[in-house]
Amino acid sequence: MEIVKDIVERAGGGVAATPAPGGANMIDPFGRAITYLRISVTDRCDFRCVYCMAEDMTFLPKRDLLTLEELDRLSTAFIDKGVRKLRLTGGEPLVRRNIMHLIRSLSRHLETGALEELTITTNGSQLERFASELADCGVKRINVSLDTLDPDKFKAITRWGDFAKVMAGIKAAQAAGIRVKLNAVALKGFNDDEIPAMLEWAHGEGMDLTLIETMPLGEIDGDRTDQYLPLSAVRARLSERFTLTDIPYKTGGPARYVEVAETGGRLGFITPLTHNFCESCNRVRLTCTGTLYMCLGQEDAADLRGPLRASEGNELLSNAIDEAIGRKPKGHDFIIDRETRRPAVSRHMSVTGG
Ligand code: SAM
Ligand code: SF4
C-alpha cells in the first residue's frame, strides 16, 4: 500500500487528472485524434513465443526502466491530454514487479471518469493470481493471447508456456467478472486447421476471438515467410463452414469484426498486411524506458524520459508529447515476402507492446 500511496502522491496528491475539455486534444497531422495509449511496462516475458522472440533474448538492464511512479506520471500526462483508453502490455505486463500497484494507482482515473478504460494484454500465465485484484481495480475486459488449444502445440509455440496455467487464468478472470477476448496469431501450418475449433470453443465459453496476421517485427529464429498466413485466406475458408456477417462493432482497436451466425459470437480480424488499418489509427505506444513510438511499424520515436526527468512540472513533457504527435506518420510499410526477409523494424513486438 505504501507504494500505491507514494505513486498517488507523486502524481499529484490523489488529485484526479483534469478531463480534456471537449474530448481529445491530441490531433495528428492527418486529423486523427489520439485517444489510446499502450504502454509496454516491461520487455521481459515468461514465454518465448516463436513469432515474437528469439529463445536467447537480451533484455534491457533493469536500471534503464522507468519506475512505476514515472509510468504513472507519464500515463497521467497523456490522460490530461485526451487519452481515454490505456492498455498495459509488454513483454508480459503481469511479470513486472509490483505491477498491481501501478494498476491500482491508475484506476483512480477510472473513478474520476477521466479514463474510460484501463486494460491489459496478457499471456495469461499470471492471471489466476491477479484476476480478482484486476477486477477490483476496475479492469472490465482483457485480451489473452492463445494460439492453440493443444497443450503440446502450445508448448511448442510458446517454448516456455504452461497451457494448464493459462486455462486456469482465463477461468479465474471470467469468475472475477472480467470479459476475456482471445487473440490468436494465425500461423501457416501451425494453427490454420484449428481455427474453426478455437472459434467454437471461444464462443462457447463466452469469449470473442480475434485473429492477427504475423507482423515483421524484430529478428526471430525462424523465417517469417514460413509463418505468414493472410487472414483473407482464413476468412474465405471459414466462410465455407460458417456464416460470417460484417458488423460495425468496435473496441477502439484495429480489429474488424464479423458475427458468426452458427455460434452467435464475434470474430475479429487484425489485418495489418492484407488490409491496411492505418487510416483510423488512434494510438501511440510507450516503452518501459519512456520512448514513444508514434507507429508500431516505423522506427521514428520520441524520448519522453528526458523531459520527464528534467523537471517536476509537466510542461516540458507536454511539449515533447505535442511535438511527437505532430510527426505521427500516416502508416506502416509492412511487407512479408521472399524478397523482403529483413524485419520492417528491428525491435521486437515485446518492446513496443502488441
Ligand atoms: N505477453 C503478452 C501477450 O502475449 O499477450 C503481451 C505482449 S504480446 C507482444 C501482445 C500480442 O502481440 C500477443 O497477442 C502476441 O501474440 C502478438 N505478437 C507478438 N509478436 C507478433 C508478431 N510478430 N506479429 C503479430 N503479432 C505478434
Ligand atoms: Fe511473451 Fe507475449 Fe511475446 Fe509470447 S507474445 S513471447 S507471451 S511477449
Number of domains, the chain: 1
CA of 49 relative to ligand 2 center, distance in Å: 5
Q: Looking at per-residue confidence, does 20 or 136 come out higher?
A: 136
Q: Does the CB atom of residue 351 touch ligand 2 within 6 A?
A: no
| Per-residue pLDDT tens over the stretch 68-124 | 999 999 999 999 999 999 999 999 999 999 999 999 999 999 999 999 999 999 999
pLDDT digits (tens, 9 = 90+) for 179-218: 999 999 999 999 999 999 999 999 999 999 999 988 766 6
Specify the residue with its C-alpha closest to ligand 1, atom 20.
52
Q: What is the CATH number of the domain that holds 154?
A: 3.20.20.70
For residue 167, the enclosing domain spans: 2-352
CB atoms within 10 A of CB 224: 19
Residue 205's Cβ-side half-sphere holds a number of Cα atoms within 13 Å equal to: 20
Q: Kindly report the pTM of this predicted structure.
A: 0.89
The reported pLDDT for the residue numbered 20 is 45
CA of 220 relative to ligand 2 center, distance in Å: 12
Find the 43 Cα to ligand 2 centroid distance in Å: 9
Q: Which three-class secondary structure state does DSSP give residue 182? A: strand
- In angstroms, the CA 108 to CA 22 distance is 21
> Dihedral of CA 45/135/83/64: which sign?
negative
Contact of 288 with 65, CB cutoff 8 Å: yes
Please work out whether the CB of residue 51 comes within 6 Å of at least one atom of ligand 2: no
294 contacts 260 by C-beta, under 8 angstroms? no
pLDDT category at 31 given cuts 50, 70, 90 is very high
Select from 287, 313, 321 the least CA-distant residue to 10: 313
- From 45, 121, 217, 347, mutation site for ligand 2 pocket: most ligand atoms within 8 A of C-beta: 45
Q: What is the pLDDT of residue 21?
A: 44
Pocket of ligand 1 contains residue 145 by CB under 6 Å? yes
Q: Tell me: pLDDT of 7 over 50.
A: no
Indicate if the alpha-carbon torsion angle 91, 281, 73, 141 is positive or negative: negative
